[in-house]
Structure formats: structure tokens, C-alpha cells
Amino acid sequence: MELRDQEISIVGAGIGGLAASVALAQKGARVKVYEQAVALGEVGAGLQISANGVAVLEALGLREAAAQLANTPEAIVLRDYRGGEVSRLKMGATAEARYGRPYWQFHRADLLRILEEGARSAGVELVFDHQLSGLSSNEAGVLMEFEDREAILTPSLIGADGVRSKVRTLAFKGQAATFTGQVAWRGLVPAERLPQGLFENAAQVFMGKGRHLVVYPLRGGTLINFVAVEERADWAEEGWNIPDSSENLRAAFKGFAPAVQTLLSAVDETFLWGLFNHPPLPRWADGRIALLGDSCHPMLPFLAQGAVMGLEDAYVLAQNLSVASTFSEGFESYEKARKSRATRVQNGAARNAWSYHLRNPAFRGAAHKVLSLVPSGALLRQFDWLYGHDVTKRG
């Protein structure tokens, strides 16, 4: 289908929705993105973007802008909760040489800004303060209803509205999500509040009984990002921005390494996420409607791939639409091209939680010992299928 002048609506201006808008607009489509927020906000969180995601940024012409704001970690270091090093996976130049592109870390707001600028310069129209509340399809197209706004008819619709997707709920059947028994705190601490050199330029994972904490620097080391995961029986709401007391966080990680205690003592503001398992959706595409990113394959954060998969989806979706004869055909071939990979990543992320949280101290000690004997090169090779995949080079 010649995409030039085709009208496409996207709901959700997150990483996936914005990337799709750029990819489609660069192929000539007239793209509008409807976002419920009044502007793209500063959600305080870091995102790791591996080489397979950088490939998409590069193909969209955004690599240079992204490089200005990215942090490139030298290593991924796994540590016992007390701080002892278990294993060290060399990243930096080693990962870049292996995969042809760097492994980067961003403040989420920085990556959103790069994509927003890319979208605006490709001619995308961003429509804020529009919360999708209803959908119905007829021969003319899809009628989108918005809270306190006029309804809009669109020839095609892409749902990129995240983990609690309204488009998924309204247009696709799926099984209910189940609480994993894990919650995650996320936050940022200005480095000036911490002793100099407290954390090296690496993604470090401190692994303890039923909990782990990931920490890495951002914005040239001026901010320290953390994600702290704890197993618990009680339920927490899924989604963004649930404020929680930093006292709860400190209590959960009492007994962890001194560097972790120092970091957490400087936390004023933190947000809590409930982590949920979502069984793979039977379908991601139906006629004039398709889903991408977290709206169709939400995943646990333990492979750091949710946003990266949204980038891959966005590129493949635009590619498939541009060679199809109808929206329906293009959306179906996109689903076919992406489903097995996204499902594999979803399953891989779920398995990692278990290995970080080994409860039995003897078993944990033995597992860490085995891990410490694996050479860095062999550890990195395990990720070839993930980081070495380049959607921009596939037919």
C-alpha cells in the first residue's frame, strides 16, 4: 500500500507510539498521535536500550540526537546483596564491537523528547489532552471516542497506549493479568547527594533473598537511577506513578550493601509498580486496528526490553504496512513478523526474576559460584539472539 497521504491514528505517545509515528510519517503517511496527558512529562525513570533498539533509532535518523543524551555503561555487574561481585559482563566497547551498536541508558524523558522532536520534524501531529474512552468500527473506519472531546473517525488505528491499554480492552479479547507477587520501586537520586564515585559506570544488580536492586548512572553521571524489586503477597496497582514512602523502600533493603543503604538514604521521592503477568494475546491485529508495545505484549522488566520491543514493533509495523495492499493485510503481516520474538522476550524476562531472587542461601551461594566461573564473553553470547537481532535489516 502506498503510505503517502494515508491517514493513520495512534493512541498513546509513549516510546512505542512515538517511534511508530516517526516510522510511518517518514514513509509519507499523515499521522496523528492522541495522548491523554497534557504534555510529555518527566516520569522519573531510566531505560536501558540495547543494540537492537539503537538499530531502530538509527534507521529513524535519531541516533545522533540520542547519542548526545545517552549513557554508555562499561559493564553489567551482578553482585550478592552484601556487595560481593558474582559476575561481570563487559559492555561498553565490547558490546558495541559485538553487535555493531552501543548499549545505552537514558532518562525516559530524554528518549521521549528525542522521539517527539523526530515526530514533529517528520510532520506528525501530536494531539494532547485526548483520553480514548470508546471505539467502534464500521465500513468507513474506526470511530474513536474521547473523554470530554468530540469523536473522531479514522481509517486506521494503532493502539500504543501501554500496559493498561484501552484499545486492547475495547477491541481485543485477552485473559486477565495476574499479580506476579512482585513490586518494583523506581526513582532517581542526584549524584551530588552521594559520596563521589559511590557507583561505577555500570548497571549493577544486587541480588538477595526475594529481592534485588538495579542501579545505574544517567545524564553523564549526574543522576543515579534505581529499580528495586521485592516479592510480596499483597497486591499493588499496575501502571505508572503510584507514589510510595521512601521509608518502605529503605526497610525492604535493610541489610543490603553499604552503597545501597547510602543510595536509599538519599531517596526523597519514589514510585511503586505492581508487576503483572500477561498471557500472550491471541491476536494483535484485527481489520483496521493493531496494537504495539506494552499494549499487546507487556513484559516484566527483568530483561530491560519493554521499550526496546516497542521500538522494534514500530519499525516492523511501518515496514509491513508500506508493502501491503490494505491496512488489514499490513497489520496481519506485522503481527506474524513480531509475535514469536516478543513472546520469547516476555518469557525470558519472567524467568530472570526467579534467578535474581533465589531464596535458599546455600542454593543461592552455589548458583552464584557457578555464575562467577562463566567468562564474560560467554555471558554476553547468551544475549546474541536478543541484542544481535536487527529488524531494520530484515526483508
Ligand X SMILES: Cc1cc2nc3c(=O)[nH]c(=O)nc-3n(C[C@H](O)[C@H](O)[C@H](O)COP(=O)(O)OP(=O)(O)OC[C@H]3O[C@@H](n4cnc5c(N)ncnc54)[C@H](O)[C@@H]3O)c2cc1C
Torsion of CA 364, 387, 329, 150, to 10 degrees: 80
- In the complex with ligand X, the residue whose CB is nearer, 29 or 115, is 115
**CA–CA distance, 211 with 300 (Å, rounded to integer):** 14
* Known catalytic membership, residue 81: no
182 touches ligand X (CB under 6 A): no
- Between the alpha carbon of residue 62 and those of residues 85, 117, 291, 310, 392, the distances in Å are 36, 9, 23, 16, 14
Beta bridge partners of 104: 49
Q: CA angle at residue 253 from 249 to 257, to 5 degrees? A: 135
Closest by CA to 9, choosing from 130, 118, 170, 114, is 130
In whole angstroms, how close is the CB of 94 to ligand X at the nearest point?
A: 19
C-alpha cell at 87: 559476575
310 touches ligand X (CB under 6 A): yes
In whole angstroms, how close is the CB of 65 to ligand X at the nearest point?
A: 18
Residue span binding ligand X (CB under 6 A) among the ranges 119-127, 244-252, 304-312, 375-383: 304-312
- In the complex with ligand X, the residue whose CB is nearer, 239 or 258, is 239
**How big is the chain by its Cα radius of gyration, in Å?**
21
132 touches ligand X (CB under 6 A): yes
Candidates 99, 216, 315, 356; catalytic one: 216
First to last CA, the chain: 16
187 touches ligand X (CB under 6 A): no
Contact criterion met (CB below 8 Å) for 24 and 318: yes
Chain residues 8-67 in contact with ligand X, contact rule CB under 6 A = 11-17, 34-37, 47-48
What phi, psi does 350 have (nearest 5°)? -65, -35
In whole angstroms, how close is the CB of 304 to ligand X at the nearest point?
A: 3
Residues in contact with ligand X, shown as a per-residue x/- string from 260 to 279 under the rule CB under 6 A: -------------x------
Residue span binding ligand X (CB under 6 A) among the ranges 63-71, 76-84, 288-296, 326-334: 288-296
**CA–CA distance, 285 with 264 (Å, rounded to integer):** 43
131 touches ligand X (CB under 6 A): yes
Q: Which chain residues interact with ligand X by CB under 6 A?
A: 11-17, 34-37, 47-48, 131-132, 160-162, 166, 184, 186, 227, 273, 293-295, 301, 304-308, 310
Catalytic residue numbers read 216
